[in-house]
């Protein structure tokens, strides 16, 4: 057992070993879009038995299934990653495809679950793979897959689709961090695979969060509820009847020159399950990241001055950074009069008491003393360039 202080029973058992008690590491709170089925609060905890770090969410399987089917922000190809629309995204997908091609034959039958708009499938096609299929809960993503000429299934992890043959490779790239019950999800894939089949898994790497700081608590949002690192992935594999055939760390290039830590593994089917091996690496690393984020967590002076003066606020951004920002105590009295976002999937939704609009519409005709607050973790500079090009008179602040 991992040495712990204040180990308490939680809402959610450990998603790796099933233990019921955990050590709280940090409390997260979010302001979510109206109608979102996800919980607006949870604790980041470390399992008292195996050390795995996860969100002690009260959400159900049905809540998360509905969210990814109805509230997906991976649909808009102009905004979402995973479709290969931007050069940095194509590059990281090409690198992943090349690694897979070095381990799996190009005549393999491949299924990418949670494939979004199919960028990794396209990268594999470019390398000569010919039997490619994608599965996603979003109807919009499925339609784009079909338009790109891929076999497309609307669905999610669970029972193998009726009538489908088994696959030589199933891909879960940046999927398992979103899954409420990753052990059951991975175990179910044994029925999807040929006897010599593989599962390729890639997730954010919690052991390296502090090496790649962005905005405070960037790696904690309403969607990412499992914080894997290599030990966590290997424990998940052995507990569900898989062997780790190969594994490693990587650094992903993101928009705006930002970098993102990831861990990956290629799994093969084992003869039986094996015990989880306790490891404290994730708890130690995430505790350090929480301390780092807490020290850096403060609102910019320009925003504090605007709030003190009671000036109206136009919020540019309705994503994770805005959802964290609005939970700051100083934002309680904020006069938010407009919310804009370039993601077409967010436009028309209700957030912070406003209808989210396109920037070209929502920022027109606001009071002269309005302050535009740019709340975006990775693309703030790009948004600022767009804002300046619009020639609007309002003062702006980057959070």
How is the chain split into domains, by residue range? 66-277, 301-398
Q: How many Å apart are CA 30 and CA 98, to the nearest integer?
A: 38
Decide which of 238 and 156 is more confident. Answer: 238
pLDDT tens across 192-228, in order?
999 999 999 999 999 999 999 999 999 999 999 999 9
What does residue 64 show for φ and ψ, rounded to 5 degrees?
-70, -35
Question: Quick one: pLDDT at residue 180?
Answer: 96
Segment 347-351 mean pLDDT: 96
Cβ neighbours of 364 (radius 10 Å): 11
Question: What is the 3 state secondary structure string of 74-137?
Answer: CCCCCCCCCCCCCHHHHHHHHHHHHHHHCCCCCCCEEEEECCCCCHHHHHHHHCCCCEEEEEEC
Q: Is the pLDDT of residue 361 over 60?
A: yes
Residue pair 22/46 in contact by the 8 Å Cβ criterion: yes
Segment 311-338 mean pLDDT: 96
Q: What six digits make up the tokens of 358? A: 């396109």
Q: How many Å apart are CA 236 and CA 187, to the nearest integer?
A: 9
- Range of lowest pLDDT (50-54, 68-72, 96-100): 68-72
- Tell me the pLDDT band of 23, cut-offs 50, 70 and 90: very high
66-277 and 301-398: same fold?
yes
What is the CB-side half-sphere exposure of residue 193 using CA atoms within 13 A? 20
Which CATH architecture best describes the domain 66-277?
3-Layer(aba) Sandwich (3.40)
pLDDT tens across 292-302, in order?
999 999 999 99
- Range of lowest pLDDT (32-36, 44-48, 71-75, 276-280): 71-75
Segment 55-76 mean pLDDT: 83
Q: Smallest Cα–Cα separation from 169: which of 238, 218, 99, 233?
A: 99
The enclosing H or E element of 242 equals: strand 242-253
Reported CATH class of domain 301-398? alpha beta
Question: Quick one: pLDDT at residue 5?
Answer: 60
Segment 8-32 mean pLDDT: 94
Q: Is the pLDDT of residue 2 over 90?
A: no
Q: How many Å apart are CA 80 and CA 57, to the nearest integer?
A: 25
Decide which of 176 and 87 is more confident. Answer: 176
- Tell me the pLDDT band of 89, cut-offs 50, 70 and 90: confident
How big is the chain, counted in residues?
A: 399
Q: Is 27 helix (H, G, I), strand (E, B) or coil?
A: strand
What does residue 7 show for φ and ψ, rounded to 5 degrees?
-70, 125
Segment 74-103 mean pLDDT: 78
CA angle at residue 339 from 318 to 376, to 5 degrees? 40
Decide which of 98 and 257 is more confident. Answer: 98
Question: Quick one: pLDDT at residue 77?
Answer: 53
Question: Quick one: pLDDT at residue 79?
Answer: 53
Decide which of 257 and 74 is more confident. Answer: 257
Q: How far is CA 305 from CA 241, 274, 300, 310, 326, in A?
A: 56, 57, 9, 9, 16
Question: Quick one: pLDDT at residue 83?
Answer: 62
Decide which of 3 and 324 is more confident. Answer: 324
Q: What six digits make up the tokens of 144? A: 């784009």
Beta-carbon contacts of residue 266 (< 8 Å; ≥ 6 apart) = 103, 198, 199, 200, 201, 244, 245, 246, 247
Q: Is the pLDDT of residue 31 over 80?
A: yes
What does residue 232 show for φ and ψ, rounded to 5 degrees?
-65, -40
- Tell me the pLDDT band of 160, cut-offs 50, 70 and 90: low
Question: Quick one: pLDDT at residue 159?
Answer: 64
Q: How far is CA 158 from CA 12, 135, 146, 198, 319, in A?
A: 20, 12, 22, 17, 28
Residue pair 202/96 in contact by the 8 Å Cβ criterion: yes
């Amino acid at each position: 057992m991992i040495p712990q202080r204040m180990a308490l029973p939680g809402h959610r058992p450990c998603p790796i070993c099933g233990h019921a008690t955990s050590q709280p590491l940090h409390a997260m709170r979010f302001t979510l879009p109206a109608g979102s089925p996800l919980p607006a609060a949870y604790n980041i905890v470390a399992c008292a038995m195996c050390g795995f770090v996860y969100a002690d969410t009260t959400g159900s399987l049905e809540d998360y299934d509905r969210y990814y089917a109805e509230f997906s922000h991976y649909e808009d190809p102009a905004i979402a990653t995973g479709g290969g629309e931007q050069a940095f995204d194509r590059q990281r997908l090409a690198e992943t495809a090349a690694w897979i091609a070095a381990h799996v034959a190009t005549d393999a039958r491949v299924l990418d679950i949670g494939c979004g708009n199919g960028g990794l499938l396209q990268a594999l096609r470019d390398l000569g793979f010919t039997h490619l299929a994608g599965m996603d809960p979003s109807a919009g993503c499925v339609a784009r897959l079909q338009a790109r000429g891929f076999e497309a299934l609307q669905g999610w992890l669970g029972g193998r689709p009726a009538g489908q043959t088994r696959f030589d490779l199933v891909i879960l790239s940046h999927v398992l961090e979103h899954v409420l019950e990753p052990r059951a999800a991975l175990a179910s894939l044994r029925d999807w695979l040929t006897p010599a089949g593989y599962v390729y898994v890639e997730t954010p790497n919690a052991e390296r969060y502090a090496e790649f700081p962005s905005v405070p608590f960037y790696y904690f949002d309403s969607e990412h509820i499992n914080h894997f690192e290599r030990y966590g992935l290997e424990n998940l594999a052995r507990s569900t009847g898989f062997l780790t055939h190969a594994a490693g760390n990587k650094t992903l290039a993101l928009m705006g020159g930002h970098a993102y830590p990831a861990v990956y593994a290629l799994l093969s089917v084992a003869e039986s399950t094996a015990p989880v091996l306790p490891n404290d690496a994730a708890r130690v690393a995430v505790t350090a990241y929480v301390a780092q984020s807490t020290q850096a967590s403060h609102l910019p002076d320009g925003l504090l001055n605007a709030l003190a003066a009671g000036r109206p606020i136009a919020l540019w951004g309705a994503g994770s950074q805005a959802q964290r920002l609005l939970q700051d105590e100083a934002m309680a009295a904020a006069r938010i009069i407009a919310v804009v976002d370039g993601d077409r999937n967010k436009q028309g939704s209700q957030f912070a008491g406003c209808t989210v609009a396109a920037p070209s519409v929502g920022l027109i005709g606001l009071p002269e003393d309005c302050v535009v607050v740019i709340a975006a973790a990775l693309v703030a500079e790009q948004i600022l360039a767009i804002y300046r090009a619009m020639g609007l008179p309002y003062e702006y602040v980057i959070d």
